[in-house]
Amino acid sequence: MLRVDQEGMVSARENAKWIRDLIEAEKEKNKENPYAKQEAAGSRSSYVTVTTKDGEKQAVCAVNLSFKTVDRTVVHVEKVSVNQAELKFSVEKVLTGSRISPKVEYKVTEAQRIGAVVAPAEAQNKSVEYSVADSTVAAVSEDGVVTVKRDGKWIQDLEAKDAANLAKNRYALSTAAGSKKTVVTVTTEDGQKTAQCKVKVEFKTTDQTIRPGTSSGGSSGGSSGGSSSGGGSGSSYRGSSTASGGPGAVGQTQGSWKQDSIGWWYQYQDGSYPKACWKQLSYNGVLEWYHFDERGYMETGWFTDTDRHVYYLNPVSDGTKGRMVTGWNLIEGKWYYFNTVSDGTRGAMFVNRKTPDGYQVDGKGVWVQ
């Protein structure tokens, strides 16, 4: 451990075995972590004896030795990664009210955060910077919070194109839609290492507006398959008289509306009532077509006639319940078109064909967007 020369100069041996043992023990402990800070340290005690040549008289000096490691090395960044490979956002433009002057609302996905993971964990400088390739699509903050640009130019362009189409047909539905992609890049300050996260934004328009002269069929009208449904609560009905086959001649109309625990029916002045037939009757001064079942109760919701034409009878208690709808109607979130022409099939749902204003409907009568 020590060196002592003839002049009494004492010095430590830097490669002493006890020091080497401390260093090797630390290496063994940290062999699984090459980035660990070296901190080997320890102490030992010894003594130096002075002996006289004349008489061999002696004196002893105690010597204390200490060893420590001062590690001033730096661990640099080797790579960076992100905790999400892709972020998805949506921007939905919702139109409600009148189609001529609709109410507009935008629904946008909330901001999302990208986390950066710097390796190795022992790196001294973990500072990173975030950047976005296309700032018209999204923005990113200093701490990686990504927000979508609701009024980005690409969305404005889609809306402008849609507006041009609507200018040609003011009653057409708004259908602006599209998607855009960009990337957010994370760059380390130490070493300029990078990682990327994809960002995808979907834009769509949900047009729930109502054309002037038409009304919404509401959300309680049964399934879209066209099966007949009961008066308001799904019950069946009562009545007497003509066969079905679409709205036809008016016939006897003098009477009054009646209601019991089952539903509504119409009673003529002579006490009879229509059943299993269409009748054009007045309610609150408005003349509308209604259909009555075999028991004479007014039907509501989807109704398939004997000629297989499908009709929709307003199920909502809004003062026009039971009336046969015509034109465009929004039913359970889907648009349907019902014949407006008095050709024997007025009120019948269009299927697999184009509507008079040029829109295609599928085999279930739903507008193909």
Residue-wise pLDDT tens for the chain (369 aa)? 888 888 889 888 888 898 899 889 988 888 888 888 888 899 999 989 998 989 889 999 999 999 999 988 889 999 999 999 999 999 999 999 887 788 999 999 999 999 999 999 889 999 999 999 999 999 999 999 999 999 999 999 999 999 988 888 767 788 999 999 999 999 999 999 999 999 999 999 998 887 654 444 333 333 333 333 333 323 233 233 333 455 554 445 588 999 988 899 999 988 899 999 999 998 888 899 999 999 999 999 999 999 899 999 999 988 899 999 999 999 999 999 999 998 889 999 999 999 999 999 999 999 998
- Whether 184 and 114 have beta carbons less than 8 Å apart is answered as yes
d(CA 314, CA 319): 10
d(CA 271, CA 267): 6
Q: Which of 179, 184, 112, 181 is nearest to 147 (CA)?
A: 112
Tally: H helices and E strands in the chain? 2, 24
**SS3 (DSSP) at 150:** coil
CA Rg value for the chain: 43
- Whether 218 and 360 have beta carbons less than 8 Å apart is answered as no
Q: Tokens 């209601």 sit at which residue?
A: 259
Tell me, what amino acid is at 139? A
Where are the alpha helices (H) located in 48-198, listed in sequence order?
A: 153-168
Tell me, what amino acid is at 110? E
d(CA 369, CA 366): 9
